[in-house]
Structure 1
Amino acid sequence: MAQGFDPAAATAAYLATLSPEAHAKATAYTQGGHWVLLWATLVSVLVSWLVIKSGVLVRVRAGVEGRKPRPWLAVAAVVVVDGVVESLLSLPWDAYSNWWREKSYGLTSRAFSGWLGEHGLKIFIGLISSLIIFSLLYWIIRRAPKTWWLWGAAGVTVVSLVFFIAQLLLIEPLFNSYKPAPPGPVRDEVVAMAKQVGVPSDKILIYDGSKQSNRYTANAGGLFGFGRVAMSDVMFKKDADLAEVRGVVGHEMGHYVRKHVLLGDLETGLMTLAALFLASRLFPAAVRLLGAKGVTGIADPAGLPVLGILFAVMSLLATPISNTMSRWAESDADHFSVVHFNEPDGLAKALVKTIEYRASSPSRVEEFIFYDHPSVGARVRAMMDWKATHPPTPPASPAAPTP
């Protein structure tokens, strides 16, 4: 350990760079978000129940298949009608939780009209995704009525990887402008880092993340040799220096190199397997309990909202499991960053800037249930423990603000 260096004191000093008022505000936002998670599930259940009780999907399915079975068309019609109706019914809640609440805590500067336009685009993309997923799922149910949950989970696992690539190549550019980082110290440093750890170095991008959010963030995405490093302009608006860039981008490169996308997809597949298996057993009881008149069985697409309610409840109950896996991946990426780029102070400074939307010091129970990242306090302490036993990197010069 470096003589005279106290990791606990250094951690406390980093956390103390924010005022008590700022910490209190972050805690209020974070703990309020726990209730938002519960209320979002209740809203989803209520909206699906209203659709069930209206009988609209039964009528849609019956209208499509009035003269002869047309299962593919029936599924498509039900998915579209259900998606549109549920999106409209959920709009007030979505506006509150995703725009008004963010605005009230200073986490977005976006006007409501801008949010609403993007929300509409997300609904459209979601409809396309749902058409693909549920057309596949209902086809599997028809072909393998006893083991559909097994083949369905396999299909979702594969489709999830395809959607991940589509997200990078097609969807994200619909919402943000991604431009090559301008020549200068930041680009040179990130290119060198990418070459050092085997991340593609030809796509070092900066995007206008401030368009949607004031959150300090970056990401590195890709698979099988395709990849890109993208830094939000918020990083530089919040005065990120080169040490922070190295720490944060090193973390994101860790996700790429350590193939966390594949591990996450495996987790998705296993959780989907469990969810579909439980849905196959619980569906008849759920139909009776919810009063879903006219739904003839699990292969009937008119029962889609019943599945939606089951999935919403199971997703809420599985929150601690999915968050535990996510925290492991984030810790692993932190470790990758500090091992390969040795910027504990850079990453610590960046982490402190994220406290505004993720309170720094939750209880162990709160962190276990609700946090998809380790607490900032724990992450900064890990960086200071590393610093105590490893020689420091020479000080980095300030990064030039991006255009």
Structure 2
Amino acid sequence: MIALMMPILTVFIYIVLTTGKMFYIYAWFFVILVSIVLMTIVPDYILPLFDVYRPLKEGVLKQKIENLAVSINYPLKKLLVVENSRRSHHSNAYMYGFYKNKCIVLFDTLFKNKTNVDDKIEFDENVKENEGQAGCTNDEICAILAHELGHWFYSHTLCNFVIGQIHMLFTFVVFAYFQNQSKMYISFGFKTQPTVIGFSIVFMIMSAFNQMLQIVLLKFSRKMEYSADEFSSKLNYSKNLQSALIKLHVNNLSNPYNDWLYSCCNFNHPTLLERLEALAKYDEKNK
């Protein structure tokens, strides 16, 4: 990633130094372009350099996932399993892709909890229903994916991207205001006014504001998680999602309960108990 960031930073500094007082507009468009390019190339070309990705084998689970995608018009093109068990017990699933070229990735730890996986292991999606906390059942994996598909259905990823870019534009505007104020640099011990140093100082100055903004954004993120859980519940996966969440929290060594104030300031997901309680309410409402 450092190899990628160095040329990006060089171009950014060049834009700041050569495009005049309105540089923040050009810099902002450049950051948006870089973000879109990275979202395109990182999953397909960068991440496979560090992890092993394999297609999910034909079987019951693959058919269920494909049926789930069709039921909500999700344009699924690829269904992969990533060998994450070599590094941790962390279990998860995620999606990526633009427009009609979508991919779903499942962590192999959803099926098996092993710290070491043989190089020749073949991923088997047919997890037995009685395997308990050794792995998720087919329906539990579908419930997890239904939650993730809820984020897509409600455009949560796009919302987060837009919010991030608006915040970046605001940061650039603040930097443009302070960029040529020598007192700011002198206050931090700099006699010259390097662009990178100025940008770093502005980030430090904005840290208090960013912390307050983070609390608002975390609340918004938790609301999105509840919405995605409700979406899964509407697809009749409430019970399976509840049992899957319990397994994921055990496998990921997550705390099921935290102080409410600490959660407000630090967590972008509701606690396990909060989500289970909400899912029970959704289940009652959807009956």
Structure 1 moving runs of 4+ over 6 Å? none
The aligned counterpart of 2:229 is 334
The corresponding residue for 2:219 is: 324
Partner of 1:308: 200
Aligned-residue sequence identity (percent) comes to 21
Preserved contact between residue 75 and residue 100 of structure 2 (Cα < 8 Å)? yes
Alignment CA distance shift 1:368-1:153 (3 Å): farther
The match for 2:170 is 274
Check if 1:171 corresponds to 2:46: yes
CA, structure 1 residues 349+193, in 2 after alignment: closer, same or farther (shift >3 Å)? Answer: same
**CA distance in structure 1 between the partners assigned to 2:135 and 2:76 by the alignment:** 24
Matched, 1:126 2:2: yes
Amino acid at match of 1:337: S
State the TM-score, normalizing by the size of structure 1. 0.59
Query: Which residue pairs with 1:183 in the alignment?
Result: 58
Map of 1:350 onto structure 2: 244
1:78 maps to: none
* Superposition deviation, residue 249 in structure 1: 0.7
Against the structure 1 CA distance between its residues 232 and 257, is the aligned structure 2 distance closer, same or farther, given a 3 Å change threshold? same
2:20 to 145, 152, 162: 145
Say whether the 8 Å CA contact 2:77–2:101 is kept in structure 1. no
**CA shift at 1:357, angstroms?**
4.6
Alpha-carbon contact 2:233-2:283 (below 8 Å) kept? no
- Residue 288 (structure 1) aligns with: 186
Tell me how far 1:208 sits from its aligned partner.
0.6
Contact 2:76 2:100 in 1 (8 A): no
Amino acid at match of 1:229: I
Report the CA distance between 1:169 and its aligned residue: 1.6
The offset of 1:130, in angstroms, is: 4.1
Q: Give the gaps of 5 or more residues in structure 1.
A: 1-124, 392-403
Residue 256 of structure 1 aligns with which residue?
152
| Mapping for residues 4-403 of structure 1, pairs under 5 Å | 125-132=1-8, 134-237=9-112, 238-283=134-179, 284=181, 285-293=183-191, 295=192, 297=193, 300=194, 303-311=195-203, 314=206, 317=211, 318-339=213-234, 341-355=235-249, 356-391=252-287
Deviations 1:150-179 (A, max 9, x none): 332233223212211112221221121111
Q: 1:366 Cα shift?
A: 1.6
- Contact 1:198–1:257 (CA<8 Å) still a contact in 2? no
Q: Is the 8 A contact 1:222 1:256 kept in 2?
A: no
Larger radius of gyration: 1
Tell me the secondary structure at the aligned position of residue 202 of structure 1: strand
CA distance in 2: counterparts of 1:226 and 1:331, whole angstroms: 26
Cα distance per residue 1:222-273 (max 9 Å; x no partner): 2211111111011112410122112101111222333333222211111101
Q: In structure 2, do the counterparts of structure 1 residues 314 and 321 end up closer, same or farther at CA, with 3 Å as the change threshold?
A: farther
Equivalent AA in structure 2 for residue 350 of structure 1: A
Aligned residue for 1:210, secondary structure, equals: coil
- SS of the residue 2:77 aligns to: coil
313 and 321 in structure 1: CA distance in 2 versus 1, 3 angstrom threshold: farther
Query: Which secondary structure does the structure 2 equivalent of 1:360 belong to?
Result: coil
Report how many residues are paired: 259
- Tell me how far apart the structure 2 counterparts of residues 267 and 320 of structure 1 sit (CA, whole Å): 14
Q: 1 CA distance for matches of 2:175 and 2:220?
A: 23
Asked if the contact 1:221/1:256 (under 8 Å) is kept, the reply is no
Distance 1:233 1:262 in 2: 27
Is the contact made by 2:96 and 2:103 (CA closer than 8 Å) also made in structure 1? yes
Q: Secondary structure at the match of 1:205?
A: strand
Distance, in Å, in 2 between the alignment partners of 1:146 and 1:290 is: 24
The structure whose RCO (Cα within 8 Å, separation 6+) is larger is 1
What is the alpha-carbon distance in structure 2 between the residues aligned to residue 245 and residue 177 of structure 1?
Answer: 20
Change in 2 beyond 3 A, CA 1:337/1:168: same
1:36 counterpart residue number: none
TM-score by length of 2: 0.81
Which amino acid letter does the alignment assign opposite residue 307 of structure 1? Answer: F
